[in-house]
A and B are shown apart, each in its own frame.
Chain A
């Protein structure tokens, strides 16, 4: 036994989300780079969860580590408390699966010996050993099913776990009785095999959900999680969002999001409110104006006095709207449970009728009961239990490879039925961020482009970063600059081959967003920035229409801005919709019998996303959007929408085939069971064969997303 090393008393542990980690190189860079800093003892990367666990002493805090990671080139966020203890769904099922698998294999070995002719005391011995292995294993591995079945029964409903639990428990009880009276048949192998197959299905399902959730968790970090607060003597200190209080003064740099609502005390800047309201044009705010949490400061640093923090912000109202809608969604009954509502009473009646039939035919009570139990065991929904999860796991895996994360198992079921789509404008139909006009970039001379890239890469300003990203994509090498300096709110200047160069806010651009590139002796180049439609928007919308889904735009932006996009994609649109309005539209459509898909990204879409039958968000969405949506797509293209709907429909087709196969198997096996001809061997063969067929059929979905 190795004793766990106790951490030194002053040691602290911080877990940070670092979405950009993706390879061994990143891991090595972080794990070797961080401990080189003062105060950091060790760092360990978890690539699956995209997190870094840092052990450090009390002299530094999370914010220092974020900065250290930023210097290594990784954007990081200290994990919030409510996110950190999120548990894996698959982990608690691994131990039951291992036990069930171990026991099933050993018992099966003994059963095969019995089937091949072991008799008398040898058979009894084998049965007793099987019981010794099987009963504790069934008690442990069956617990997840028994719990879920008991919960359903207590609420007066039924789900797939009810017939499974009954079948397993009755098979175990009968086997124990048979073993005790030195009978011929024991069913421990069947019960254990059933549990193993079902647990495999559930573990796969849970692992897929874990992966999708980890992917989404890595994206969750859009909203500012704290702010630099100006102290009484003018010093700055970092305060977490949860600890901000009314009256504090936050200093918000360009490119940062506000952590709380507040009034601007000094400075003036433009703010991007698109995540909050859907409004695409940035608004100018100055001293005395109210700025809202979640908005992005675009231009110059400002000081903001906090008026509402944490649960009092505008966000809180949106959260309240969402809570009501989420309850709505949880009333959805999954297809497997709907099937069980028909299936369970049917097989239980059948078993009862079998007992009555055998009694009427003059058989003894024991023989009638054994036959009735055999019917229950043979109809135990092994293939039925795998029919849905395996199909959904295979399809989700295929979608994940295509860049679409399915967060919830029932999402594909709900998505398959959708016949009406409401799309948000800013950030959903469009990319949601100002991008440099490609025509203006093409007009630049190669030297100008190189200078522009070099200047832009020196700033964290959103426009600079967009410009740098666009130019890098065109394989332009940055020019060598000297003496680069950035003046907040104005721009960057430097010297290039003896010439003055600058990238600055244009003098006369009006309301439009633009940057001016000045190279001494050359004319000033104006680079306009605008939000653009996502690539393939037309094709994607046409694809949805072909699938019989009627689309329209539902936006919180101004009518003029919405009309422009609506015209470009040929959809009807509703503008100026507030979060509550969007939710009301969804409710109205649902009340008229439509199945509604909502695609949105902003905080303002949250309530509608939660209220819809199915919901979709781009990876660039706000935390609220990502959490409320069922599916998240990571690529820029909107083609993810028709692709996911097609994959969902194909999945449901396979699920229905699986049900047909499983029920077909029952139609063959049940008459044998009623006739009293089913032995444990027949049950074992039938059970594995039907499960294999269902799994094989589901594997056809491996390319569902193509």
Chain B
């Protein structure tokens, strides 16, 4: 059962990383314009 001492923190850390990434995305306006982001992949840049 000692493996749990490693696995539980590892699982929590990975989950926490995901949560932190989500918060980062939320703060950086990644959810401000979902429709626009969907359309942007179709835009061509002339430059």
B residues near A, CB below 8 A?
A: 1, 4, 8, 11-12, 15-16, 18-19, 22-23, 26, 31-36, 39-44, 46
Contact = CB atoms under 8 A, between A and B. Distances in A.
A499 interface: no
Interface string A98-112: 110010011001000
Contacts, number: 53
- Interface residue tally of chain A, by bracket? 20 to 34
Contact of B42 (A24, A99, A102): A24
A340 interface: no
8 contacts: A24-B43, A46-B32, A48-B32, A48-B35, A95-B23, A106-B12, A106-B15, A122-B4
Contacts of B42: 24
Contacts of B44: 28
The listed residue with most B CB atoms (<10 A of its CB), out of A23, A24, A105, is A24
A27 interface: yes
Given A24-B42, A106-B15, A122 B1 contact: yes
A125 B4 CA distance: 10
Given A27-B40, A102-B19, A133-B12, 18 more contacts: A23-B39, A24-B39, A24-B40, A24-B42, A27-B39, A32-B46, A45-B36, A46-B36, A47-B33, A47-B36, A48-B36, A49-B33, A98-B22, A102-B15, A102-B18, A105-B15, A106-B11, A129-B12
Contacts of B33: 46-49
B33 to A, nearest CB: 4
The listed residue with most B CB atoms (<10 A of its CB), out of A23, A48, A98, A129, is A48
Interface string A527-541: 000000000000000
Interface of A: 23-24, 27-28, 32, 45-49, 91, 94-95, 98-99, 102, 105-106, 109, 122, 125, 129, 133
Contact of A47 (B8, B23, B35, B46): B35
Contacts of A91: 26, 31
Contacts of A99: 19
Contacts of A102: 15-16, 18-19
Contacts of B18: 102
A48 B43 CA distance: 16
A458 B11 CA distance: 67
A519 to B, nearest CB: 44
The 6 nearest A-B residue pairs measured at CB:
A47-B36, A24-B42, A24-B39, A48-B35, A47-B35, A46-B33
Contacts of A28: 43-44
